[in-house]
Structure 1
Amino acid sequence: MEIKKAIDIITLLSEGIDPQTGEIISAYTTFQDPHTVRALFLALEALEKLDKSDKRQKRLPENAGKGWDEQEEALLVDAFDNGKNINELAELHKRTNGSIKARLIKVGKIK
């Protein structure tokens, strides 16, 4: 199940609405119990955070968060020494600008 669909279902349940029929859920069911409603709101909050995290992760470059090996680091240093700027290096290595800056600091190329 997609996160968006789960969010929609839990939202309806927490509002006292049957997600299948759209009808108001009877006041005498577990779904109307205050503890259940609070649990649904907590689940909804967690799913919304997960959805936000997933969307952010999909926007990151392919190599974001991956470790650097010696060969890639050498290529970075060489490209930097040959005049490539941070944006160009980030695109070339499929990493974030912050990652490129951090690596260049680590190898002593920038402060």
Structure 2
Amino acid sequence: MDDNKALAIVSALANGVNPQTGEMFEIDSPYQSVDVIRALYVAVRALEMTARTRARANRGRMPANAGKPWSEQEDRELLEKFDAGRSVPELAQAHDRTMAGIQARLERHGRLQGQGLQWRGRASQPEAEADRSGGA
């Protein structure tokens, strides 16, 4: 199993969601226990750190298809794989494109609703509004 798939699974569990079915866990599930949730978030942070370290090592190396036009065939394959449950990182690797490119394409085809990737150095909407209004 690759780290991206492990991160997706552990993140789902930490959020109280069954990664296989997408259903929320019952309140009496062990996955709803405070200590289990905290442990899962520690695992999520560790996997994210590994991904960031790997990304820093690969900085400057863009996937071969990054920025290239999409063919109708590649679009069909992307949507089929996404509908079959493949994650954005898996799709990026399979199509040799960036995760941002995959996400943008899925948004364009109505499969994702403007979730956007969080970029380093970019304030979230509430933080940006607070900064403009002088609030904390």
TM-score normalised by structure 2 residue count = 0.42
- For 2:19 and 2:59, the matched residues in 1 are separated by 31
- For 1:8 and 1:59, the matched residues in 2 are separated by 22
Q: Where do residues 1-16 of structure 1 align in structure 2 (5 Å cutoff)?
A: 1-16=1-16
2:49: which partner in 1? 49
1:27: which partner in 2? 27
TM-score normalised by structure 1 residue count = 0.51
Aligned pair count reads 61
State the percentage of identical aligned residues.
35
Larger radius of gyration: 1
5+ residue gaps, structure 1, are 61-111
| Cα deviation digits, residues 1-42 of structure 1 (max 9, x gap) | 111111111111111000000011111111110000000001
5+ residue gaps, structure 2, are 61-136
2:39: which partner in 1? 39
Offset of 1:55 from its aligned partner? 1.8
- For 2:2 and 2:54, the matched residues in 1 are separated by 11
- For 1:3 and 1:10, the matched residues in 2 are separated by 10
Offset of 1:58 from its aligned partner? 3.0
